[in-house]
Amino acid sequence: MPVLSTIAEAQRRRAMRVRTARVQHVEGPPPWHAPVRQLMRVPHPKQAAFVYDPIKRKMVRAGRRGGKTIGFATIAVEAFLEGRRVLYAVPTQEQIDRFWFECKRALAPGIAYGAVRKNETRHILEIPDTENRIKAKTAWDADTLRGDFADLLILDEFQLMNEDAWGVVGAPMMLDTNGDAVFGYTPPSFRTAGKSKAHDPRHASKMFKERSQDTSGRWQCYTFTSHDNPYLSREALGVSPK
Ligand SMILES: Nc1ncnc2c1ncn2[C@@H]1O[C@H](COP(=O)(O)OP(=O)(O)O)[C@@H](O)[C@H]1O
Ligand SMILES: [Mg+2]
């Protein structure tokens, strides 16, 4: 059972979100939203399938450079425009940089307009004095994920994380906020196998298999390969030109 202070905190945050949504509803979207939408990436078909699905739990399995992280940045920016609080976590700095660059790029009109505040060191984009923000952080287990609050949690490169990141911290956080969770997973290769912080290096694969059979209507799993990403050149994929 969550302690009373946690419940009070969740209620306070929910009230703030409702207020933000009401202001947007009455006054219409702020003028910087339209230019942000124009800057957002056009998802490729396999990306669009998971980006626009409103389901509460999503798991995306795709090869390297398939388009997971760019898809997650698109989900994050969409959610940000709806007034939500997004936490993106991944074990590697390289993936943080890619995600952060994408969010910043799309939200540049909001930053220029003075509505969105950017903190480069903490990787936070936010509307000051509200709960509305995107934060990106490096996390690989429960302890490194702990300490933040969000109603949309994105765990990228989940196979490199310890299982407890979701079980001990992520899932309870989503219960408190009635939030949505997204998992990105690259099937392990010899190159990445050694870097994993997982007890069971196959935990993401097992979870994917299990959740693929989910019939509760709560989970959806998606899978595709690097070859489904039309934005990558054939050459880079090692396909010889005909
Ligand atoms: N919707 C898109 N529009 C333009 N380029 C894209 C898009 N999705 C992916 N890409 C390109 O594909 C590359 C790999 O995508 P990324 O999301 O980093 O893959 P993954 O996270 O699956 O390894 C990106 O660096 C980007 O150049
Ligand atoms: Mg990625």
The answer to whether residue 237 sits within a structural domain is no
Q: Is the Cβ–Cβ distance between 114 and 40 less than 8 Å?
A: no
Ligand 1 binding pocket includes 17 (Cβ within 6 Å): no
Q: What is the pTM of this model?
A: 0.89
The answer to whether residue 240 sits within a structural domain is no
The Å distance, Cα 14 to ligand 1 centre, comes to 33
The answer to whether residue 236 sits within a structural domain is no
The Å distance, Cα 96 to ligand 2 centre, comes to 9
Taking residue 59's Cβ as centre, other Cβ atoms within 10 Å add up to 24
The answer to whether residue 144 sits within a structural domain is yes
The Å distance, Cα 188 to ligand 2 centre, comes to 13
| pLDDT tens digit sequence for 116-161 | 999 999 999 999 999 999 999 999 999 999 999 999 999 999 999 9
CA distance linking residue 95 with residue 76, whole number of Å: 14
The answer to whether residue 115 sits within a structural domain is yes
CA distance linking residue 196 with residue 162, whole number of Å: 8
- pLDDT the model gives residue 13: 72
Using 50, 70 and 90 to split pLDDT, how confident is the model at 8?
confident
Using 50, 70 and 90 to split pLDDT, how confident is the model at 233?
confident
The alpha helices in 28-67, defined as continuous H runs, are: 33-39, 45-51
The answer to whether residue 178 sits within a structural domain is yes
The alpha helices in 151-202, defined as continuous H runs, are: 164, 171-177, 190-193
> Does the pLDDT value for residue 10 go beyond 80?
no
Task: Indicate which atom in ligand 1 lies nearest the CA of residue 232.
Answer: 12
Ligand 1 binding pocket includes 16 (Cβ within 6 Å): no
The answer to whether residue 219 sits within a structural domain is yes
The CATH number of whichever domain residue 134 belongs to comes to 3.40.50.300
At 59, is the secondary structure helix, strand, or coil? Answer: strand
Least distant ligand from the CA of 67: 1
Using 50, 70 and 90 to split pLDDT, how confident is the model at 228?
very high
Going by alpha carbons, the residue nearest to atom 5 of ligand 1 is: 231
| pLDDT tens digit sequence for 81-108 | 999 999 999 999 999 999 999 999 999 9
Taking residue 200's Cβ as centre, other Cβ atoms within 10 Å add up to 11
Beta 124-126 vs 117-119: how paired, if at all?
A: antiparallel
Beta 85-90 vs 152-155: how paired, if at all?
A: parallel
Question: What is the pLDDT of the chain when averaged over all its residues?
Answer: 90
The Å distance, Cα 216 to ligand 2 centre, comes to 28
* Tokens (6 digits) for 187: 């099937």
For residues 70-80, give the mean pLDDT. 98
- pLDDT the model gives residue 193: 53
Domain of 96, in residue numbers: 4-228
The answer to whether residue 82 sits within a structural domain is yes
Task: Domain count for the chain, please give it.
Answer: 1
- pLDDT the model gives residue 24: 66
Ligand 1 binding pocket includes 41 (Cβ within 6 Å): yes
Ligand 1 binding pocket includes 63 (Cβ within 6 Å): no
Ligand 1 binding pocket includes 95 (Cβ within 6 Å): no
